[in-house]
């Protein structure tokens, strides 16, 4: 090595070694692969955290890889996905069954038979739809035996059965079923993909549930529901989850699959129970309870209806009662509340309630006072203001107060002068009102008027006639005292009379003297005389004659009105 080469080595030796190392790493594929593998996880993580570009880039190639792998080796993928696919499929099936149960529930939800009511109650307690519960109750079945058989070798892995079931050689049963399974594959499935899933044997049904490494074969008495297969599949999936590898390598040693019989025992819990005598007794108790419940409901319904009827009757009675205006009426249990307006003269709310068979103690009334203008209330108010004689009737029509019957004259006069005090009345009609006290007074006057008191000669009273006139004065005083009460004034008129003897002028003077004498007697006893007159003489052409009966004074009474009776 010359000096120039030595100088290059000294100046660029280290850089040259670095470049040679880099060249070797680039040229050698295994080194580049190791470098990429070292940083690939971190690069993928950063790219995924940054955006979705990595996902978009890998979607297509990864999808194609999975599709090709599943197409080339479907069994491996099926075995891997078996624990996942089973629950997903069952969930979908259960959703469809739930919809079907809902349809059944709508079809039988109106059933009122004792059994239907009992099942409805039990379904509600169990928290399941009624239709689904009906299906469970009407389909009678029971799993008698359960076998777990290795799919590859046909060996019996485990067996469970009810104590009452008749047990044959379980290994022989397993071998026989395996032989039948192989026969089905060889005879009816050219590609050997077919499998036996169910078989009917008289009163028994044979169901086979297939798994990746084992078969679950169940002997069922009766007709099982289709939903039972999903339950059995769940048990087989659980067994595969716990013992999948052990079953795949199973050679007949049961110690490799400990407690697998416990898992198989789960199959024996599926059964539909038949009703026993105790159930029928429960039915009777349920019917009795239902009858009692219906009786209580009927009683409560009747009582509520009765209270509503009472409320309606009370509302109707209040609405038809004059002087009451209801603004609100309500009920709380058997107690009633009334709010509104009430005229003081209207019937109390408690009395109205009693009239429709509601105790007043069950009614609370909050009524504000007001003055009603209903005819019945106006009539009652008239009776309160004026009083009302026993035979008098009031009737209000078109703002007119019509009064009929018989009443004292003074009461009638008071009514005529004060009827304007009644609100809602603008006119008074008393055409139908009689005043019998006035008629009786007129009869008294008529009976007393025209009394005669006789004289002997001149102005001398006949014996006893002056005393009779004094007594008559007392009667006249009483009449005049009573006259004002019936709206009358009484005037006393004296008519003197003589016989036809003597001259007419002398007779006229004598008649006046006799009237004056009678007037003096009356005045002395408190009776004022309104007028003194002469009785017309007889026929002047008649011959003079002495007639003692014409020697008298006649006391006449004349009535005058103090007020206008109309």
Q: What is the pLDDT of residues 95-124, one digit of tens each?
A: 555 555 555 554 454 455 566 677 777 777
Q: What CATH number should be reported for the domain whose range is 139-269?
A: 3.30.450.30
Whether pLDDT at 199 is above 90: no
Residues of the chain with CATH 3.30.1330.60: 438-561
pLDDT mean over 4-32:
74
pLDDT mean over 400-405:
93
CATH architecture of the domain with residue range 282-369: 2-Layer Sandwich (3.30)
d(CA 334, CA 361): 11
Residue among 557, 566, 420 nearest 487 (CA): 566
Whether pLDDT at 542 is above 70: no
d(CA 151, CA 433): 122
pLDDT at 494: 92
d(CA 471, CA 522): 10
Residues in CB range of 369: below 8 A, 6 or more apart: 341, 342, 343, 344
Q: Are 389 and 407 in contact (CB under 8 A)?
A: yes
Whether pLDDT at 165 is above 80: no
pLDDT at 276: 44
CATH architecture of the domain with residue range 375-434: 2-Layer Sandwich (3.30)
* Lowest mean pLDDT segment, chosen from 137-146, 153-162, 443-452, 553-562: 137-146
Out of 22-36, 46-60, 216-230, 468-482, give the one with best mean pLDDT.
Answer: 468-482
Residue among 24, 69, 231 nearest 146 (CA): 231
Residue among 181, 239, 234 nearest 208 (CA): 181
Residues of the chain with CATH 3.30.1340: 375-434
Quote helix, strand, coil % in the chain, to nearest 5: 55, 20, 25
C-alpha Rg value of the chain to the nearest Å = 66
d(CA 86, CA 257): 22
The pair of structure tokens assigned to 445 is: 């006057």
Whether pLDDT at 468 is above 90: yes
Per the prediction, the chain carries an average pLDDT of 80
Share of the chain above pLDDT 70, in %: 81
Whether pLDDT at 234 is above 50: yes
Residues in CB range of 462: below 8 A, 6 or more apart: 454, 455, 456, 551
Whether pLDDT at 192 is above 70: no
Q: Tokens 């529930």 belong to which residue?
A: 105
d(CA 217, CA 90): 19
pLDDT mean over 159-184:
72
* Lowest mean pLDDT segment, chosen from 37-41, 437-441, 469-473, 521-525: 37-41
pLDDT mean over 191-215:
79
Residue among 499, 514, 488 nearest 544 (CA): 499
400-406 and 427-434 as β-strands: parallel, antiparallel, unpaired?
parallel
For the segment(s) 438-561, the CATH number from 3.30.43.10, 3.20.20.70, 3.30.1330.60, 3.90.1150.10 is 3.30.1330.60
d(CA 171, CA 155): 8
d(CA 388, CA 411): 9
Whether pLDDT at 182 is above 50: yes
Residues of the chain with CATH 3.30.450.30: 139-269
pLDDT at 534: 72
């Amino acid at each position: 090595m010359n000096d120039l080469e030595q100088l290059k080595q000294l100046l660029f030796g280290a850089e040259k070694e670095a470049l040679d190392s880099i060249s070797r790493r680039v040229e050698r594929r295994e080194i580049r692969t190791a470098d990429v593998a070292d940083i690939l996880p971190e690069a993928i993580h950063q790219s995924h955290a940054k955006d979705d570009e990595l996902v978009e880039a890998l979607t297509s190639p990864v999808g194609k890889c999975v599709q090709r792998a599943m197409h080339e080796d479907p069994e491996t993928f099926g075995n891997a996905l078996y624990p996942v696919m089973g629950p997903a499929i069952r969930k979908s099936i259960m959703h469809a069954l739930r919809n079907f149960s809902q349809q059944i529930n709508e079809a039988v939800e109106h059933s009122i038979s004792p059994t239907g009511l009992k099942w409805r109650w039990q379904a509600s307690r169990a928290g399941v739809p009624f239709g689904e519960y009906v299906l469970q109750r009407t389909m009678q079945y029971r799993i008698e035996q359960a076998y777990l058989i290795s799919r590859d070798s046909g060996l019996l892995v485990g067996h469970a059965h009810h104590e009452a079931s008749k047990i044959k050689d379980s290994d022989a049963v397993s071998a026989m079923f395996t032989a039948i399974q192989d026969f089905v594959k060889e005879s009816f499935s050219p590609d050997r993909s077919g499998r036996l899933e169910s078989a009917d044997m008289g009163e028994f049904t044979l169901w086979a549930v297939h798994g990746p490494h084992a078969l679950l074969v169940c002997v069922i008495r009766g007709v099982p529901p289709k939903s039972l297969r999903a339950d059995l599949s769940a048990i087989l999936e659980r067994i595969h989850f716990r013992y999948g590898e052990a079953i795949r390598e199973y050679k007949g040693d049961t110690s490799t699959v400990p407690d697998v019989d416990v898992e198989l025992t789960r199959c024996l819990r599926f059964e539909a129970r038949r009703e026993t005598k105790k159930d029928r007794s429960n039915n009777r108790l349920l019917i009795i309870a239902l009858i009692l419940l219906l009786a209580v409901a009927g009683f409560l319904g009747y009582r509520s209806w009765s209270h509503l009827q009472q409320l309606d009757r009370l509302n109707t009675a209040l609405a038809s009662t004059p002087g009451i205006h209801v603004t609100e009426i309500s009920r709380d249990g058997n107690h009633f509340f009334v709010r509104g307006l009430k005229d003081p003269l209207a019937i109390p709310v408690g009395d109205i309630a009693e009239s429709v068979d509601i105790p007043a103690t069950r009614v609370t009334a909050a009524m504000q006072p007001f003055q009603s203008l209903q005819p019945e209330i106006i009539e009652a108010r008239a009776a309160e203001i004026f009083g009302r004689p026993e035979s008098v009737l009031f009737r209000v029509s078109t703002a007119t107060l019509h009064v009929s019957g018989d009443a004292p004259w003074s009461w009638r006069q008071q009514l005529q002068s004060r009827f304007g005090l009644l609100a809602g009345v603008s006119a008074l009609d008393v055409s139908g009102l009689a005043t019998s006290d006035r008629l009786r007074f007129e009869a008294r006057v008529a009976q007393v008027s025209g009394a005669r008191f006789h004289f002997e000669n001149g102005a001398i009273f006949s014996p006893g006639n002056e005393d009779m006139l004094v007594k008559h004065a007392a009667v006249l005083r009483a009449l005049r005292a009573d006259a004002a009460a019936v709206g009358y004034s009484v005037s006393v008129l004296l008519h003197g009379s003589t016989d036809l003897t003597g001259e007419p002028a002398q007779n006229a003077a004598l008649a006046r003297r006799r009237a004056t004498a009678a007037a003096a007697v009356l005045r002395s006893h408190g009776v004022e005389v309104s007028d003194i007159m002469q009785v017309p003489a007889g026929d002047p052409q008649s011959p003079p004659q002495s007639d003692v009966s014409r020697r008298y004074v006649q006391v006449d009474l004349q009535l005058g009105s103090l007020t206008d009776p109309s």
